[in-house]
Structure 1
């Protein structure tokens, strides 16, 4: 694909909204539609989420969607290696903002164990995720440094996390630019998805995304590796 074709393709998959509330509403409706279709076709559905402050409103809106949540498996693309009640826990974020009411019937798969470091739990977390198969909806956030999941620029094993030939499901990460050790899905596992969504807000992150598309340097801006994927191709949901 030429640079021009790549630019046009991403533009076709870039959904811009006037407000974050409108983005949350449309994203929740779109995700619910995909999950319903999966339930109708396969009898089950899977949803992988990302943490941070950006998706809180989306989580609350999605929780109100009319779904057979008992047949939906929910997990995370990554999590910080902290207790589930820690303020920085993505596990806690999902439980408090999505898994409420009827949505509380969803099967939630945590990426955290009682082990001292995530490297000691890679095997256990891989087993927990083994039955997911191809993921129906994968939703990624992006940091201002271009990281996604917990695949950070400068991390010692970033190249391993981005290796598309890897059979590893998850990888332990010690970021040099962020607190807490992390457990993160690998890019290869993330791309084993039917629908891939990048959810970002703010002009700064839009500029980072555009830079990543143009420079195509995943070592500097890891999100470039996601944008380079054609199967699945990422759809971006953005609001100012």
Structure 2
């Protein structure tokens, strides 16, 4: 099991919003601005998506944006081992909320093929990520237990320098137990990382995080730090 003490402390910038709607609006604008910058500088925008309720509403707002969709390349931070059309898959949620409604080429939307099983999916996605040095933007959520993507407490976080890009999770504490996740090390290889956090049930996890307790979210540790967008009430 990876220990966080082997790496420098995570640098967090905390951005609080009075309402969930304000948080979601800010996150949406940040995504669009990151896309504009990446496309201007490098001709493409590589984004990693999170699952969850708050990201879903952000995705719904993106469907109406005026963006250069042809330059977007979409990846996923984790996926549940369920049939491809299962409503609890992150890919299904993102497709229904956003991806089915915009002109991103299908060849540039990279789902994790977990319907093939954990090992085959992890191997395939490892190959998909070959050649991507840094993601432009990684979106992450936060669970009540401090997990992010499918990196759970008391499980392998894969945050060391030699960690694989993609890991298999066979015994997740949440349904379904079998999942595939980008490692903390691979999620950290990004120009920008944003955590989107809402809901009163996350308060203890946020408190632990701010107090320096080594929750899984703290294992995502890009060189330039992370930005945490959260409801002001969670800082109480």
Which band: TM-score by shorter chain?
Answer: 0.7 to 0.9
Q: C-alpha displacement at 1:154, in angstroms? A: 2.8
Cα 1:113–1:146 shift into 2, 3 Å: closer
Q: C-alpha displacement at 1:19, in angstroms? A: 1.5
Q: Which residue of 2 aligns with 1:223?
A: 217
Structure 2: unaligned runs, 5 residues or longer: 1-8
Cα 1:122–1:207 shift into 2, 3 Å: same
Cα 1:22–1:105 shift into 2, 3 Å: farther
In the alignment, the residues of structure 1 paired with residue 38 and residue 20 of structure 2 have an alpha-carbon distance, to the nearest angstrom, of 27
Q: Which residue of 2 aligns with 1:3?
A: none
Q: C-alpha displacement at 1:64, in angstroms? A: 1.9
Q: C-alpha displacement at 1:65, in angstroms? A: 1.9
Please give the residue correspondences for 1:105-120 in structure 2 after superposition, counting only pairs within 5 Å: 105=105, 107-115=108-116, 117-120=117-120
In the alignment, the residues of structure 2 paired with residue 230 and residue 136 of structure 1 have an alpha-carbon distance, to the nearest angstrom, of 12
Q: C-alpha displacement at 1:108, in angstroms? A: 0.6
CA RMSD of aligned residues (A): 2.0
3-state SS of paired residue (2:164): coil
**Superposed structure 1 runs of 4+ greater than 3 Å apart:** 103-106
Q: Which residue of 2 aligns with 1:127?
A: 127
- State TM-score, norm by structure 1: 0.85
Q: Which residue of 1 aligns with 2:204?
A: 207
3-state SS of paired residue (2:137): strand
Cα 1:186–1:206 shift into 2, 3 Å: same
The reply to whether residue 236 of structure 1 matches residue 228 of structure 2 is yes
Cα 1:188–1:176 shift into 2, 3 Å: closer
Q: Are 1:200 and 1:236, in contact at CA under 8 Å, matched by a contact in 2? A: yes
Q: Which residue of 2 aligns with 1:170?
A: 166
Cα 1:206–1:162 shift into 2, 3 Å: farther
In the alignment, the residues of structure 1 paired with residue 162 and residue 76 of structure 2 have an alpha-carbon distance, to the nearest angstrom, of 19
Q: C-alpha displacement at 1:113, in angstroms? A: 4.4
Q: Deviations over 1:170-215 (max 9, x none)?
A: 0010234111210100011000000010111023314312212324
Structure 1: unaligned runs, 5 residues or longer: 1-5
In the alignment, the residues of structure 2 paired with residue 162 and residue 199 of structure 1 have an alpha-carbon distance, to the nearest angstrom, of 22
- State TM-score, norm by structure 2: 0.86
In the alignment, the residues of structure 2 paired with residue 170 and residue 70 of structure 1 have an alpha-carbon distance, to the nearest angstrom, of 26
Q: Which residue of 2 aligns with 1:73?
A: 73
Q: Are 2:158 and 2:164, in contact at CA under 8 Å, matched by a contact in 1? A: no
Q: C-alpha displacement at 1:102, in angstroms? A: 2.8
In the alignment, the residues of structure 2 paired with residue 114 and residue 204 of structure 1 have an alpha-carbon distance, to the nearest angstrom, of 31
In the alignment, the residues of structure 2 paired with residue 176 and residue 46 of structure 1 have an alpha-carbon distance, to the nearest angstrom, of 28
Q: C-alpha displacement at 1:58, in angstroms? A: 0.4
Q: Which structure has more RCO (C-alpha within 8 Å, separation ≥ 6)?
A: 2
3-state SS of paired residue (1:55): helix
